Amino acid sequence: MPQHATATTRLHAPSVAARATGLTKVYGEGETRVVALDAVTVEFGRGRFTAIMGPSGSGKSTLMHCMAGLDVFSGGSARIGDTELSGLKDRQLTRLRREKIGFVFQSFNLLPTLDALENITLPLDIAGRKPDQEWLELIVGTVGLAGRLRHRPSQLSGGQQQRVAVARALAGRPEIIFADEPTGNLDSRSGAEVLGFLRDSVRELGQTVVMVTHDPVAASYADRVVFLADGRVTDELLAPTPETVLDRMRLFDTKGRTS
């Protein structure tokens, strides 16, 4: 926020759901030392849908894992809402993840013996939290699985299974959802269903989503794209379209080859 911002603009400025400041992650030492994150500073606005793109090995998953408290970082700071992650004990981190963070992975990670609805409410059940019925109905209404809620994962298509996984991430009304290539295992039609649901969860339900993707079309569902390369934020794009994302990716490609 610039210093000259008035009280009014500050009031209307979107708040930040998660923030990394100088976030650094080093794996290994000596010859195997890899700087996966090299002082990354980035903010994810509340109620926004952000895509993260970048070449393989650029640190996208590491950034998510460190910001979500799934992995410890080497330096800098990461916050979820007002909570600083560095210095939290394991038990506090587990609680933070449970209460404030939703995850969606490339592989759907549903429990095969539970039906769709049971999978959606499982994290709440484990945490001993009562689902907010109104919220749950809203999610179930948005996910577009009416008539399929009593089906097991094996009776659902890939896109339907991933929508169950997104609904599960939403069930606890988290501060933020991190999705790592959620459409990576899906054909384009099923992918579009999942992306539509993620977008609706932001636009209609006011949730905050950060999604890693390699696909310019998937990225175009987001409000903003953040580009990573070699563990650094190199660029960002607002109101992306598949074309503007592709153009930006080509630009990096050329830079990479000429430097």
Ligand X SMILES: Nc1ncnc2c1ncn2[C@@H]1O[C@H](COP(=O)(O)OP(=O)(O)OP(=O)(O)O)[C@@H](O)[C@H]1O
Chain residues in the site for Mg ion (CB under 5 A): 61
Query: Could you say whether residue 36 binds ligand X (CB under 6 A)?
Result: yes
Which residue of 44, 48, 58, 171 would you call a contact of ligand X, by CB under 6 A?
58
Do 233 and 227 touch, CB atoms closer than 8 A? yes
**Closest CB to ligand X among 62 and 119?**
62
Residue type, 141: G
27 binds ligand X, rule: CB under 6 A? yes
User: E strands within 81-231?
Assistant: 83-84, 101-104, 176-180, 209-212, 224-229
Q: Which is nearer to Mg ion, 62 or 201 (CB)?
A: 62
Compute the least distance from the CB of residue 231 to ligand X, in Å: 7
In the complex with ligand X, the residue whose CB is nearer, 56 or 133, is: 56
Site for ligand X contains 56 (CB under 6 A): yes
Q: Which runs of E-coded beta strand occur in the chain?
A: 16-27, 34-45, 49-53, 75-80, 83-84, 101-104, 176-180, 209-212, 224-229, 232-238
107 binds ligand X (CB under 6 A): no
Among positions 50, 61, 119, 220, the unique one binding ligand X when judged by CB under 6 A: 61
Of positions 7, 12, 28, 90, contacts ligand X by CB under 6 A: 28
Phi, psi of 146 (to 5 degrees): -55, 135
